[in-house]
Every structure is written in structure tokens, then in C-alpha cells.
Structure 1
Amino acid sequence: MVSRKIMLKNRRQKDILNLIISLLALFAVMQLLQLYFFRWDLTSEKKYSLSDNTKQLIESLDKDLFFEIYLAGDLPYGFAKLQKASMEMIDEFAAYSNVHISYSLINPNDVVNPKKKNELFEQLVSRGLKPTSLQERTTDGSLKQKIIVPGIIVHDREKETAVHLLKSKSGATADENLNHSVETLEFELTKAIRLLQNVQPKKIAFLTGHGELNEYEVADITASLLQRYDVKRVNASELNKEGANYSALVIAQPREEFSREDKYQIDQYLMAGGSMLCLVDEVKVSMDSLSVKESTIAYYSPLNIEDQLFAYGVRVNPDLVMDIQGQLIPVQTALPGEQAKFTPASWYYCPLLNCPEKHPITRKLNVVKAEFANSIDWVGENKNISRKVLLSSSNYTRLEKVPSVIRLDIVNKKPLPEYFADGKKNIAVLLEGKFKSAFKNRAWKGINRKTFKEESKPAKMIVISDGDLIKNRVRGVGKNRQIEALGYDRYSRKTYGNRNFLLNCIDYLCDNEGWMNLRTREVKLRLLDKTKIRSERIFWQVINVLLPLFLLLIFGLIRFYMRKRKFAGN
């Protein structure tokens, strides 16, 4: 009896000791977790992990941020997924930030009064959001229209900016577009935060003095750039002045030759680590002239900048790219004396360009429309420069040498494959690295040997062989002047990806931290096979209902048998 009491006492002491050790271990773990912050992301794509650039940005914030999420209410599954991903992303921001970051869900459809609801939607549009109309099927089978606002307004109590969450790529399914919207969440939200934190916006220079596009012809892209940059129109002589500090130089379709002095200023701007976006045409031809007559002449029109581009590693060829994958234009197909009849036909001189999916500039972009583009070739080899193709024609391409006659009736000819057998051609290219000066080893009195740089700092340059790619249409003059959206086609009523492509180009040229790489983030779309679901529906319903009950029954029988055997033995 005494020994039993001693055993019980020892067991009790042992249990108390184990409890104390467990509590001490738990306390130690809690202290370590407070000292060392970490998060585990077990997904294969690391979809819940922030990039290092984003972490640095969030940790450097000095103002509280508030996110107004207007994607709220009773939403379809895809939009509910986008809403959840947005909240999770903001929660991740809050976890790494030293300031207060919060959000609220606001459903504009909660406003009962129709007049006040319309006023609210108008206010949201004025603040930069884009409402979207959805069609829902009700219980009685009818369709009901519903307006949602897939956007977020971010503000720091002083400034605000809007983020449109829904991405739309032509040819992609609704699920693919929503998945892409989730993929770009971190990029879009951090872009908005950078815009709020940017006290001194970077400066963009549009070059003048060589017949470049005027301020109205680039009004659309300029308006978009002004939301995040300081845009100015400058002469070449102003590029390298003290305090200029232009982050990117845009050369938009020059029509006059470059002087040696201007070429030298552009060269030394690049050697100083500047970034350039060159949109040049080596062939002069106008689509407007074809609107008044059925033919026009295309001829070589050099700009005296060819040798400079050649020195940097590219050559814009004096030819025209004809592509079977072209923009549709209306063609008169009625016989003489009959009522006018217009039929859509592919205009081979306006190729719809392919965008590589892996590059941050072109990932998930709509097709980009060109007009009388030239082909681009790589020249020379420089191990210090990496080269990428950003835009290219289709495999069914023909190169037309100039001078040549451009006729409208070419659309009536059947596009034979052997006629378009020149293969894919480069239209836009990217060069990054250390460039060699085009004025190296040249004897010219205009070179300042004290400040002259023979090799550049790390720099970037994008060359596009079509100046019309950045040009928006202008109708009317003076007060009646109207600016059409960049990339908009009046006939098909489509808006091509020209604006987004060029904005991405500028962002990439000005990005010295690598945050544009967030656009290449990929979240795999794991969709169920709807056909297989319908055909095997009964089978999987039976499995899901009966299999758990069967397993539970087996487990109960085994448990019953083991207990019976145990107690029967005793």
C-alpha cells in the first residue's frame, strides 16, 4: 500500500515537471517568434510571398495607407477569388510594414436610392475606377445585369490613386483574364504605392527639332505618362545639361535628318547611363494619302541616325513588312453601278504584332498594331549587351523593298503562302548593357575630350521600326480638335495594346530596381474538366457520399474487434 502511494506521488511529481518544462518551452518559442519574424509559403508558385523589392518598399513607408476595395458584395466565383487575393495581398503588406495599413470593403450597389447610386458611380469614374457590367442568371432563368467596380483606391490621407484590377486580353477566356488579374496584383498595388511615395517624379524627355510627332499626335501617351512622370519636350542640346537628369528619352517618329551635334548629345546621354525609346521609320509612306487615292509611293527616307543605331547593335532596314496577320479594313466589293458594299479584308501593311509571354514588358498584352513597319536586324556582337525581341510579325511575312507603289487593291488578291515566305521579322527590340560610343575613334572638333565617354554605364535602349505605333489620330483643328485613343481602330471598334506596350516600355526603361519583373509572376490556372464533370457526375457524388461512411464503418469494426480482444484477454 505504501509503495503504491510512493508510485502515485512520483508520477504526480513527474507530471508536474513535464508540465513546467512544456510551459517553459512554449514561452521560449513565443519569445523567439517575437524576435524573429518569418512566414512560410507552401504553394509551388509562392503565390503568397512578396518579392524582395516589395518588402523593401513596404518597410520604407513613412505614411499610413488605406485601401478602399470596391470589389464587394455578392460576386461570381472568379471575382470573389480576385477580391480575396486583394485582401490577402494587403494583409501581407501590413505584416511587413512599420506603418498602419488597413482596408475596407465598399459595395456601391448597397446604395438603395437610384439617384445617389448613379452619383456614386460617376464619382468613382472621376476618381479613376472603371465599372464593369456583368450578366447573372436568376433562379427563374432570366438574365439580370449587374454593375460591379473591380478596383481599389489607395490613399495616404494626402493623395490618392486608383488601381483597376481586372485585366482583359483579347482571345483569352474569362477565367484566364481573372487569373491574370490575380497574377498582377502585387505589381499593380506596389505601382500605386510607389506613385503615392514618389515626391520627385522621374523626368521623361520627348526629343524635338527633327520633325518629330507634335504634342497633339502624342497627346494620349503623354496624358498617361503624366500620371506618374514629369514629361517635357526638349532639344538634343538640353539632354546633358547639369541638373537635367532625364530618366528616359523618347524619339517619336522623326522626319528630318539629325545633325552631327545632336547625334553626339544623344550618344553621350546614352553613355551616361540614360535610357532611350526610339521609334523611327526608314520608309516614308502615309495611310492618309490612300484615303483620297487608290495608290501612293513608298520611298527610302534616311534620317542620318542609321550609323549610330548600327554602332549600338541594330539596323532598321529600308523595307516594308507585309503580314497575312494584318488589321482588317473596309473594302468596296460592289460591282460598278450597284449600291456601295464594304467587306472587311486584311490590310497586309498593318501587321498585328506578336508579344513574347515571358518578358515583363509584353506579358499578357493585347496584340499591338503597326502601320508600314520596317524590319530590324541585329548587327555585330557585344558580350556586354543582352538583346531581346519585344514585337515581331507572324511567320507568314513578306518584305517589300522600296521604292514601290502601294495599292489598295492588293487586299483583293488571294494571300498565297509562297508569297508570304520570308518568315518572322523583328519590329521592336530591347538592348541592355554597356554600349560603345558611336563617336569612338572619330576625329571631330565637336567632341569634348575632357567629358567624352567611350563606353556607357549600364543603359537600356528600345528600338521600334514604326513611328505610327505611338501616334494617336487627331481630328479637327483648334477648339474642334479631338484626340482619339492610342491604338483605337474606328472600323473594328477595337483598342489594340499600343498604349499599354509603350507605357510598359517607359516603366521598364526607368526601372532601376527590377520591380517590373513582377509582371512575369505566374499563377497556374488549375481548372476542372467541365465535360468530364458532367459525364462522371453521378460516380463522384456516390464516391463522396458513400466512401467516407464505408471507411468510418471499417474503422469502427476494427476498433470494436481490438477492444473485444483486449478486454476478453483480461
Structure 2
Amino acid sequence: MNYKKFLKSSDLGITVMIVIGILVVINFLSYQIFIRTDLTENKDFSISKVSKRAVGELDDIVNIKVYFSKNLPSQYINLSQEVGDILGEYQAYSNGKIKVEFIDPETLENPEQELGQQGIPALQFNVLEKDKYQVVKGYLGMVIGYGDKKEPLPIVEDTRNLEYQVTLAIKKLTSQETVVVGFVSNNDSVPPEQIQAAKQKLDELYQTRSFELENEVPADIKTLVIAGPKEKFTEEQIKALDDFINRGGSILALVDGVKVGQNLSAEINDVGLDSFFEKYGIKLNHDLVLDVSSGMASFNSGFITFSTNYPFWPKILKDNFDQENAAVAKLETLILPWASSLDINEGKLGQEAEVSYLVKTTDKAWTQKDSFNLNPQQAFSPGADQGQKNLTVSVNLGASQGPSASSGRGRLIVVGDSDFIFDNFLGQSGDNLVFFQNLVDSLSLDEDLINIRSKAVSSRPLKELTEANKNLVKYLNIFGITVLVVAFGLGRYYMRRRSRFVDEL
């Protein structure tokens, strides 16, 4: 009997040793093989294929120095680990070309001076110590270096946009040339001080320059932005735009078909670009689009401020973006205030031209023409032309034409609105800025940064429900649980009676 017990205990011991051995081998191999699984929808905690490819093609060492203080508030406790995980992926896919070092700023001789010179500011935090709050200085930044060039990330408060920032910095450091984006400053276009946020974002990657368009576009400009002009373009200016397109340049035109002024006054905005657009198959209509899917707008009535859904501010949801175009495919929402509709005449386009309907309204949109009434308190009712409207279109013009033609491919994107990038409007719809950046990137670079930036879309709107579906959800919430409880009770009562009947038999 004791012998059998001994054999059983021996078998158990051997089994335990085998399991421990297997676990040791798996643990050892896990350190040699880099595998992570990210279950979030947008892969928020892992880097994309774009970043993997970017670091995999590095030809020299990139040094990333992370300066995180130790005595940070509780909300930053896990930040160092999360940043380390993401940078660890960069290292794993870089073939040894990325070196990451975490440095405690307190170990520096003069951290405020040394880090300040590198572009990392000292931050002040409220920290609870000994049952009272104290103000302490700390740092949450990193510096990315390539050769003798450095690019700081001054403040890293979370990892939501970290991949975009790191990959952008690496691209800037390793790029041989900087793309120039030009802004037309004459023709009463939008002044830079009204779109500072948009220009600052572009300045992170491009060299931006405002210039007065006369008889030619400067040769170093790759992408031209025409934002909200209100004065007519001359024949010489339009010829300059034609020449620019024909030499392979790209144009982003944010043009209002209708000018909206003080006290919600409105009039046709004829800036002389209609013939230019129509030459490339695009017609800008001088109307205003209204949609049942609309953004919230605030208005003053005497001493009272009120907010209401405003049909003149069409709100675009995910299904109405072109899912085949990377510039807009991952966007969730967009608001275009006082936008005009666009039509495409494909008969005027060559066989090599490619058209993309980037942004559309719902099929319940309609337009207002000639006599404009922008009163937010009116009784809105759809017009006779109710249907889906185009608000942004893109035309890739194919082979260049004309005496100044090059082998490049001219591209033109027209948005029937310019108000959406104004600083005072971006606060209401943050994704508008992403939309603008994506359009410029799609004309100026490849689609790499678009795919990364769009991972961090900020808005997740609820899907629009019909009245029937709304009532269904409401009554299910009111009566659904009660019906389930009653049904369960009846079922339970029936089973008990049946069981009692069987026992009696």
C-alpha cells in the first residue's frame, strides 16, 4: 500500500517538474520572440504597419531619450510603462537602429537648463504628500535624435497620439527635403491669424509660406491652398493655376459658394474660379446645403444665448465618407458650416482622371438658392431637390497637359466650405482639423501619416435612429425587464407544478 502511494506521489512530482520545466522554456522563449496582441478596435496600444516599415528602413541609429520624473501625480503612474511598451515595439521592428533610454531628470546636474535647451519645459504638478498637496516640478518629455539633428516632444501626457508624434519626428529627421505648402494670401483669402491651429499643425511637417498669387506659382511649392477667397481671380491668376496643375502641382481649394456675413446675411460668392473648376470637371454650386444630420450651433437672441441643431451646418457621419480613400476613410464625423454643394461632369475629364467623392451628406439633404434665410428658429422643411449632396470631391487629373507639362500628375480637391478650419470653429469639432491635415497630406505626401493620425479620431457619434426604432428602444426599456421577470416566474411556476405532478405519480 505504501509502495503504491510512493508511486503516485512520484508521478505527481514528475508531472509538476515537467510543467515547471515547460513554463521555464516558454518564459525564456517569450523574451527572445517579440509578440504582442492589441484587442482595441483602432490598435491604440501597438504601432501600425506604417511605423514598422518606417523604422525598418532606417539606415542609421535613431536615439530616443525619455525624460520622465519619478515624483509624478497618480494619473501618470502607468504612463512610463505604456510609453515604454510602445517604444519597445519601435525597437523590436527597427533591426537594432532605434535606441531607447529612460533618464530621470533629477540625475542631471542642471535639469531645467539642460532640458530647456532641448525644448523640454519644466512642468508644475500638485502632489499629495504627508496629507497635504504640494507643488513640485517635473518633466514629461522626450528627445529624438538622428545624427546631429534633434526633434523634441516637449510634453507626453498620454499615448493616444504618441505613435503619430514619434513617426512624424523620425520622418522629419530622416527626410532629405521638406515639402513646401503655399497659401494664397490675396483675393481677400482667409488671413493666417484666423487659422493658426491649422497652420501650426502643418508646420510640424511642412514648410508653409503665404504669398500673393500673380502670374505664376513659385517653383518650390508642391501643394497650393486657396482658403476662403472673396475677391475675383484675374485671368493671369487663373492661368497661373492652370500652369501649376499642368506641371504636376496639387491644389486644395476651400471655396464658399455663398458668403455669410454679420447678422446671418448671405449673398452669392463669385470669385471667378467657376470656369477653372469646370475645366477639370467640377462645378461649385452657389447654394447652401441643409441636412437633417446637423451640428449644434449657438446664437444670441437679445440677452439670451441658445443652442440648437442647425441644418445649415451639415454633420457628416462615418457612412458618408469615401471608404476607399485613406484621407477620410477612418474619420467618424465632420461639420461643414454653410457649405455649398458640388457636382462632377465626368465628360470633361480624361480617361486617366480619377474621381473620388470624399464627403457626402445624407440622402435627406436639400439646398437653398438665391433667396437665403438663415434664421435658426424658422420651421425647416426639405425642398424639392431633397437627396444626397457632394461637399468635397477630389480629381486626380492623370497625365499633365500643355506646353509646361511634366510627367507628374496634377491633383485638385475642392471643399465647398472654408469656415470649418477657422480657429473659433475647431473647438466645436476637433475632427475638422484632422480632415484638413489629411487632405493636405494626401496631396503632398504618401498616405502613411494619414493612417496613423486617423487612429486617434476623437468623436464616436451614436448612429441615427428612425422614430420607429427610437420608440422600440424606449418601450423595451420601460416594459422589457418586467416582461422577462413575469415570463421567468411563469416558467418557474410551470416547472414546479410539473415536478410536483411527476412526484405524485
Bin for the TM-score computed over the shorter chain? 0.5 to 0.7
Give the distance between the partners of 1:128 and 1:458, measured in 2 at CA.
44
Aligned to 2:435: 501
Aligned to 2:66: 68
Aligned to 1:281: 256
**Against the structure 1 CA distance between its residues 55 and 322, is the aligned structure 2 distance closer, same or farther, given a 3 Å change threshold?**
closer
Following superposition, the deviation at residue 202 of structure 1 comes to 1.7
- 2:299 corresponds to 1:344: no
Following superposition, the deviation at residue 427 of structure 1 comes to 1.7
The question of whether the paired residues in 1 share the 8 Å contact of 2:67 and 2:102 is answered with yes
- 2:174 corresponds to 1:223: no
Task: After TM superposition, list the pairs within 5 Å mapping 1:125-140 onto structure 2.
Answer: 127=120
What amino acid is aligned across from residue 392 of structure 2 in structure 1? A
The question of whether the paired residues in 1 share the 8 Å contact of 2:326 and 2:450 is answered with yes
Aligned to 1:154: 144
Give the distance between the partners of 1:41 and 1:433, measured in 2 at CA.
44
Aligned to 1:328: 297
- 2:26 corresponds to 1:92: no
What amino acid is aligned across from residue 218 of structure 1 in structure 2? I
What do you get for the CA RMSD once the two structures are aligned?
4.7
Following superposition, the deviation at residue 330 of structure 1 comes to 3.7
Q: 1:249 aligns with which of 224, 227, 230?
A: 224
Length-normalised TM-score, structure 1:
0.58
The question of whether the paired residues in 1 share the 8 Å contact of 2:288 and 2:339 is answered with yes
Aligned to 1:208: 185
**Against the structure 1 CA distance between its residues 487 and 130, is the aligned structure 2 distance closer, same or farther, given a 3 Å change threshold?**
farther
Following superposition, the deviation at residue 281 of structure 1 comes to 1.3
Give the distance between the partners of 1:131 and 1:238, measured in 2 at CA.
52
**Against the structure 1 CA distance between its residues 48 and 399, is the aligned structure 2 distance closer, same or farther, given a 3 Å change threshold?**
closer
Aligned to 1:190: 167
**Against the structure 1 CA distance between its residues 166 and 307, is the aligned structure 2 distance closer, same or farther, given a 3 Å change threshold?**
farther
Following superposition, the deviation at residue 277 of structure 1 comes to 0.8
Asked which structure has the greater CA Rg, the reply is 1
Aligned to 2:101: 104
**Against the structure 1 CA distance between its residues 163 and 366, is the aligned structure 2 distance closer, same or farther, given a 3 Å change threshold?**
farther
The question of whether the paired residues in 1 share the 8 Å contact of 2:295 and 2:314 is answered with yes
Give the distance between the partners of 2:152 and 2:215, measured in 1 at CA.
32
**Against the structure 1 CA distance between its residues 384 and 55, is the aligned structure 2 distance closer, same or farther, given a 3 Å change threshold?**
same
Task: After TM superposition, list the pairs within 5 Å mapping 1:293-304 onto structure 2.
Answer: 296=265, 298-304=266-272
Query: What is the count of residue pairs matched by the alignment?
Result: 408
**Against the structure 1 CA distance between its residues 318 and 470, is the aligned structure 2 distance closer, same or farther, given a 3 Å change threshold?**
same
Following superposition, the deviation at residue 319 of structure 1 comes to 0.7
What amino acid is aligned across from residue 346 of structure 2 in structure 1? G
Aligned to 2:236: 261
Length-normalised TM-score, structure 2:
0.65
Following superposition, the deviation at residue 103 of structure 1 comes to 1.9
Following superposition, the deviation at residue 435 of structure 1 comes to 5.9
Aligned to 2:421: 470
Aligned to 1:372: 338
The secondary structure found in structure 1 opposite 2:193 is coil
**Against the structure 1 CA distance between its residues 96 and 107, is the aligned structure 2 distance closer, same or farther, given a 3 Å change threshold?**
closer
Q: 1:422 aligns with which of 374, 386, 389?
A: 386
**Against the structure 1 CA distance between its residues 106 and 408, is the aligned structure 2 distance closer, same or farther, given a 3 Å change threshold?**
same
The question of whether the paired residues in 2 share the 8 Å contact of 1:71 and 1:105 is answered with no
Following superposition, the deviation at residue 78 of structure 1 comes to 8.6
What amino acid is aligned across from residue 343 of structure 1 in structure 2? F
The secondary structure found in structure 2 opposite 1:345 is strand
Following superposition, the deviation at residue 158 of structure 1 comes to 4.0
Give the distance between the partners of 1:251 and 1:75, measured in 2 at CA.
43
What amino acid is aligned across from residue 315 of structure 1 in structure 2? K
Give the distance between the partners of 1:132 and 1:316, measured in 2 at CA.
52
Give the percent of matched residue pairs that are identical in Structure 1 and Structure 2: 19
Task: After TM superposition, list the pairs within 5 Å mapping 1:108-127 onto structure 2.
Answer: 127=120
Structure 1: gaps (5+ residues) = 1-37, 137-145, 168-177, 334-339, 438-448, 474-485, 489-493, 523-570
Following superposition, the deviation at residue 95 of structure 1 comes to 2.0
Give the distance between the partners of 1:127 and 1:329, measured in 2 at CA.
38
**Against the structure 1 CA distance between its residues 43 and 66, is the aligned structure 2 distance closer, same or farther, given a 3 Å change threshold?**
closer
**Against the structure 1 CA distance between its residues 87 and 222, is the aligned structure 2 distance closer, same or farther, given a 3 Å change threshold?**
closer
Give the distance between the partners of 1:315 and 1:199, measured in 2 at CA.
38
The question of whether the paired residues in 1 share the 8 Å contact of 2:38 and 2:46 is answered with no
Following superposition, the deviation at residue 282 of structure 1 comes to 1.8
**Against the structure 1 CA distance between its residues 395 and 232, is the aligned structure 2 distance closer, same or farther, given a 3 Å change threshold?**
same
- 2:414 corresponds to 1:487: no
What amino acid is aligned across from residue 63 of structure 2 in structure 1? L
Task: After TM superposition, list the pairs within 5 Å mapping 1:230-241 onto structure 2.
Answer: 230-237=207-214, 239-240=216-217
**Against the structure 1 CA distance between its residues 259 and 154, is the aligned structure 2 distance closer, same or farther, given a 3 Å change threshold?**
same
